[in-house]
């Protein structure tokens, strides 16, 4: 019982005005009920200002002016924070980039990698990612899981340890992706039917099948639609770092058939990872980090399986950003570029609710239904 934080938690320091991709831009900033009520009781000039910078309607948001938060100063800082008025900052702004979840008496805090500073800390700690006990100042939970069942909770933690150990084994990434896919599919069914002790369920190692695993876990037809349709909506503008990626991607893959694209992606990935073994480590670390986050946050809804499939889409696109850079002769050891690709992928894909919904829908229609003959 207590608080656990990701091992590099204490190293975080907001880049503030030096931030190249500030969290004050490019997001919808929702205002939680408690902060809305603080706005209402705030009188004077500040009260009027807050009223004018809040959207109408039931679900309140901070208004944006030319894509910038109404409370952002010319120096790119938050004026409410500068004035020491944390009580007037929406909860999401006070806590971001922390991701804090409470289950029962336990709290876990990791970071969203959509922040350039946390993306860098993640890349600096690929070798050793773990959660550690934390005795520092209180961190408010953003999510509180109301349902608590001690046995089930301990099962989920045991499952997570098992999955993390498995990813850490000396096994290729394509094989890990395939084995975990089958594992999560079975896990989901057994959690629903409650017919076995899920802790004891093994992750099958199918190596005896001598299957030739491919980096193309998903067909490129699905990944292509995410890049060219879901990311290319009205908000996909030239200042978005993934815009450059999507143009280069289209020049390489745009004229290929699906079969050619799958083969080409797999072949280039293998060569790239051979040349830059650090990338293999990065992809596995991304998966481990993702597991630390989703197995805890999907506790109530038992949607591990669906969340896993989503994670593999994010990972595939992250890999594709590297493949496109590799084909274009870019330096894949350039840390700034790695940070930029990672934090933009997270911001544009994982933390954009409408894009996440669209990807989920595609997975239902084009992967789950096709591979398993039913809709999830
Ligand atoms: S994105 Fe991260 S480093 Fe940049 S302003 Fe926000 S919290 Fe600070």
121 and 235 share one domain: no
215 and 317 share one domain: yes
Residue of 18, 22, 119 to test ligand 1 pocket, by largest number of atoms within 8 Å of CB: 22
| Residue 29 CB less than 6 A away from ligand 1 | no
Q: Is residue 179 part of a domain?
A: no
Q: Which atom of ligand 1 is nearest to the CA of 19?
A: 4
Q: Is residue 334 part of a domain?
A: yes
What pLDDT, on a 0 to 100 scale, did the predictor assign at position 8? 97
CB distance 122 to 289 below 8 Å: yes
The tens digit of pLDDT for each residue in 144-159 reads 887 888 888 899 999 9
Q: Is residue 167 part of a domain?
A: no
Q: Which atom of ligand 1 is nearest to the CA of 343?
A: 1
31 and 128 share one domain: no
Q: Is residue 228 part of a domain?
A: yes
Structurally, the chain folds into a number of domains equal to 3
214 and 352 share one domain: yes
* Residue count of the chain: 376
Q: Is residue 150 part of a domain?
A: no
Alpha helices in 198-276 (DSSP H): 220-225, 241-253, 258-275
60 and 125 share one domain: no
Q: Is residue 249 part of a domain?
A: yes
What pLDDT, on a 0 to 100 scale, did the predictor assign at position 242? 78
In the predicted model, residues of the chain with pLDDT beneath 70 are 205-211, 232-241, 373-376
Q: How far is the CA of 80 from the centre of ligand 1 (A)?
A: 15
Question: Of 147, 169, 150, 154, which is closest to residue 199 (Cα–Cα)?
Answer: 154
- Token readout for 294 is 């989703």
User: What are the CA-CA distances from residue 138 to residues 34, 88, 132, 134 (Å)?
Assistant: 18, 19, 15, 10
Tell me which residue has its CA closest to atom 4 in ligand 1: 22
Q: Which residues make Cβ contacts (< 8 Å) with residue 250, sequence separation at least 6?
A: 228
User: Residue 122 sits in which domain range?
Assistant: 3-12+95-145
Question: Of 353, 326, 319, 324, which is closest to residue 271 (Cα–Cα)?
Answer: 326
Q: Is residue 181 part of a domain?
A: no
Tell me which residue has its CA closest to atom 8 in ligand 1: 14
Q: Which residues make Cβ contacts (< 8 Å) with residue 76, sequence separation at least 6?
A: 16, 17, 19, 22, 24
What pLDDT, on a 0 to 100 scale, did the predictor assign at position 371? 78
Q: How far is the CA of 29 from the centre of ligand 1 (A)?
A: 14
What pLDDT, on a 0 to 100 scale, did the predictor assign at position 173? 95
What pLDDT, on a 0 to 100 scale, did the predictor assign at position 323? 97
36 and 75 share one domain: yes
What pLDDT, on a 0 to 100 scale, did the predictor assign at position 351? 84
Q: Which atom of ligand 1 is nearest to the CA of 15?
A: 3
Q: How far is the CA of 110 from the centre of ligand 1 (A)?
A: 15
213 and 327 share one domain: yes
Q: 63, 90, 117: which is the final residue of a domain?
A: 90
Distance between CA atoms of residues 256 and 262, nearest Å? 9
Q: 46, 70, 90: which is the final residue of a domain?
A: 90
Distance between CA atoms of residues 344 and 335, nearest Å? 14
257 and 325 share one domain: yes
- Token readout for 81 is 């924070």
What pLDDT, on a 0 to 100 scale, did the predictor assign at position 207? 59
Q: Is residue 351 part of a domain?
A: yes
114 class by beta-carbon count within 10 Å (0-12 exposed, 13-18 middle, 19+ buried): buried
7 and 133 share one domain: yes
- Token readout for 269 is 């990935």
User: What are the CA-CA distances from residue 342 to residues 33, 182, 248, 289 (Å)?
Assistant: 32, 27, 17, 13
């Amino acid at each position: 019982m207590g608080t656990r934080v990701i091992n590099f938690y204490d190293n975080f320091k907001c880049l503030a005005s030096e931030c190249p991709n500030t969290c004050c831009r490019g997001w919808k900033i929702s205002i939680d009920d408690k902060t809305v009520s603080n706005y209402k009781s705030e009188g004077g000039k500040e009260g009027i200002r807050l009223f004018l910078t809040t959207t109408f309607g039931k679900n309140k948001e901070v208004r944006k002016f030319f894509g910038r938060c109404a409370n952002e100063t010319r120096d790119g800082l938050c004026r409410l924070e500068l004035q020491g008025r944390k009580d007037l900052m929406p909860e999401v702004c006070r806590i971001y980039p922390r991701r804090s979840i409470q289950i029962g008496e336990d709290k876990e805090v990791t970071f969203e990698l959509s922040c350039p500073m946390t993306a860098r800390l993640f890349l600096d700690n690929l070798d050793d990612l773990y959660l550690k006990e934390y005795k520092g100042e209180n961190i408010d939970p953003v999510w509180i899981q109301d349902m608590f069942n001690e046995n089930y909770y301990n099962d989920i933690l045991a499952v997570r340890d098992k999955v993390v150990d498995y990813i850490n084994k000396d096994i290729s990434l394509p094989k890990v992706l395939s084995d975990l896919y089958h594992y999560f599919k079975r896990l989901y069914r057994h959690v629903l039917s409650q017919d076995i002790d899920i802790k004891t369920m093994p992750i099958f190692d199918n190596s005896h099948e001598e299957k030739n695993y491919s980096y193309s876990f998903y067909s490129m037809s699905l990944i292509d639609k995410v890049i060219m349709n879901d990311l290319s909506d009205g908000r996909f503008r030239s200042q978005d770092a993934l815009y450059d990626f999507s143009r280069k991607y289209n020049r390489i893959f745009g004229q290929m058939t699906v079969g050619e694209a799958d083969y080409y992606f797999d072949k280039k990935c293998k060569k790239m990872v051979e040349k830059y073994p650090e990338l293999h480590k990065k992809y596995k670390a991304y998966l481990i980090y993702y597991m630390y986050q989703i197995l805890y946050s999907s506790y109530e809804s038992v949607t591990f399986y669906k969340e896993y499939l989503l994670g593999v889409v994010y990972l595939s696109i992250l890999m594709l950003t590297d493949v496109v850079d590799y084909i274009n002769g870019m330096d894949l050891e350039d840390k700034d570029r790695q940070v930029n690709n990672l934090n933009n992928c997270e911001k544009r894909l994982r933390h954009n609710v409408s894009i996440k919904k669209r990807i989920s829908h595609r997975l239902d229609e084009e992967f789950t239904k096709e591979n398993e003959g039913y809709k999830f």
